[in-house]
Amino acid sequence: MLDPALLRTRLAETAARLKETRGFTLDVSAVEALESQRKQLSTDTQELQNLRNTRSKAIGQAKAKGEDVAPLMAEVAGLGDKLKANELALAEVQAKLADIALLIPNIPHASVPIGQDETHNQEISRWGTPRSFDFAVKDHVDLGVRHGWLDGEAGAKLSGARFTVLRGQLAQLHRALGQFMIDLHTREHGYLECNVPVLVNSDAMFGTTQLPKFEEDLFATQVGDSRRYLIPTAEVSLTNLVRDTIQEADALPLRLAAHSLCFRAEAGSYGRDVRGMIRQHQFEKVEMVQVSRASESYAQLEEMVGHAEKVLQKLNLPYRKLLLCTGDMGFQSSKTYDLEVWLPSQNTYREISSCSNCEDFQARRLQARVRNPETNKPELVHTLNGSGLAIGRTLIAVMENYQNADGSITVPEALRSYMHGAENIA
């Protein structure tokens, strides 16, 4: 969430910036009215507390002198009732202000291009040359049905639409990709491998901003009075590891990575990419998270994007890097790069990784802090997250870019040691 000071001291400026960059309309009059109530109630509450303290001391003095204290005690009792009513009213106003703040998106970094949607994203670079085929290109579904490797009907039978069963060599290739990615990030990029829960409580989802705004996009479970959520990405679990902590400065940046199952209900996206594995309710991903000091976070973002790019380069998959515009960024992001991999069957690039700097937007909810070595005081950290990569989409890209005329698929050299030396799957 945004720094509350922005809503108290720079409300008009903040509202204008949100409107310009995010198309978000902040109800300034409502915030002003609530803030005015908050200030008045705070002042009244403080005055009542001071008056009650003064009268309580007077009671003690009167008792010591043997004087009648009944009138003073009646007055103090009345002040207590007024104070309780004021405190309840103040808490109600503060809750209303908090409810407004929780729905306000992060303010984009000044370097982010202003735009309404993906058509205004800025292409930064391209890597690799899309392959030219001398035969009719098949998509991953047609390639996958060979030998029953990719079975959407079985997935639907077990769980419903947007679930897929992988078998045989294709399942092995999918597993190899996950192992290759986590090995690369831990052995070459300095991430600490973590195995984290995929079922988390509401505090964890709140901390990384999935709640309350995006609850309809989540899968939830209810056992008795306990409600838990299936993670949409390991970002949730990894980032929450620093919730309610104070890190020492020399321990940052923290680099954490996890290979996990991910679950997304994706309410409102019905009908998009329903063929095959492009958009699934259950998928696997290798997630990267960094926790950084504020002064270093943008350098860490560039580093993280490079780590995601390295996966594609080692697999020799053509891709392009985009800087997302203000209208296409996630709710919690201050700056986001997307990597899009080339899919021959679609003759276009499709998203395979998204890397974001959230600055202190998540950290404020998480109360994730670092001790400033110069002042010895805690300060909010910056949190970053990135896909390194989405395994199912990487599998699709490998299948399509490495397909052969006979329907077999060449195994990229980087994966062969994970495939017991196999050079192709057929």
Catalytic residue flag (residue 269): no
Q: What is the pLDDT of residue 80?
A: 79
State yes or no: pLDDT of 268 exceeds 70.
Answer: no
CA angle 231, 236, 242 (to 5 degrees): 150
State yes or no: pLDDT of 395 exceeds 60.
Answer: yes
β-bridge partners, 380:
369
Q: How far apart are CA 389 and CA 312, in angstroms?
A: 9
Catalytic residue flag (residue 369): no
405 pLDDT band, cuts 50/70/90, is: very high
pLDDT 10s digits, 183-202: 999 999 999 999 999 999 99
> What average pLDDT score do residues 155-173 get?
97
271 pLDDT band, cuts 50/70/90, is: low
Q: What is the pLDDT of residue 356?
A: 98
Q: What is the pLDDT of residue 70?
A: 72
Catalytic residue flag (residue 162): no
pTM greater than 0.85? yes
Out of 83-97, 110-124, 238-252, 402-416, pick the least confident: 83-97
Residue with tokens 């929450």: 240
Q: What percent of the chain clears pLDDT 90, i.e. is strictly above it?
A: 87
> What average pLDDT score do residues 19-43 get?
96
> What average pLDDT score do residues 136-158 get?
96
Catalytic residue from among 237, 260, 345, 354? 354
Q: What is the pLDDT of residue 56?
A: 78
Q: What is the pLDDT of residue 178?
A: 98
92 pLDDT band, cuts 50/70/90, is: very high
Catalytic residue flag (residue 279): yes
pLDDT 10s digits, 371-391: 999 999 999 999 999 999 999
Out of 55-64, 137-146, 221-230, 324-333, pick the least confident: 55-64
Catalytic residue from among 279, 320, 350, 416? 279
Half-sphere exposure of 1 (CA within 13 A, CB side): 20
CA dist 378 to 179, 206, 293, 298, 373, Å?
37, 22, 11, 20, 9
Bond prior to 253 in cis (omega within 30° of 0): yes
Q: How far apart are CA 324 and CA 118, in angstroms?
A: 7
Cβ proximity of 240 and 208 under 8 Å: yes
Torsion of CA 119, 122, 123, 124, to 10 degrees: -170
State yes or no: pLDDT of 270 exceeds 60.
Answer: no
Q: How far apart are CA 251 and CA 62, in angstroms?
A: 58
Q: What is the pLDDT of residue 53?
A: 78
Catalytic residue from among 146, 284, 393, 400? 393
Q: What is the pLDDT of residue 337?
A: 98
> What average pLDDT score do residues 315-320 get?
98
Q: What is the pLDDT of residue 7?
A: 93
Q: What is the pLDDT of residue 130?
A: 98
Q: What is the pLDDT of residue 359?
A: 98
Q: What is the pLDDT of residue 60?
A: 76
Catalytic residue from among 52, 162, 228, 264? 264
Catalytic residue from among 351, 371, 379, 408? 351
Out of 254-263, 272-281, 352-361, 383-392, pick the least confident: 272-281
Catalytic residue flag (residue 354): yes
120 pLDDT band, cuts 50/70/90, is: very high
> What average pLDDT score do residues 315-343 get?
98
Q: What is the pLDDT of residue 368?
A: 98
401 pLDDT band, cuts 50/70/90, is: very high
Give the DSSP letter string of 40-72.
HHHHHHHHHHHHHHHHHHHHHHHHHTT---HHH
β-bridge partners, 286:
259
Q: What is the pLDDT of residue 59?
A: 75
Q: What is the pLDDT of residue 267?
A: 59
**What's the mean per-residue pLDDT of the chain?**
94
Q: What is the pLDDT of residue 214?
A: 95
82 pLDDT band, cuts 50/70/90, is: confident
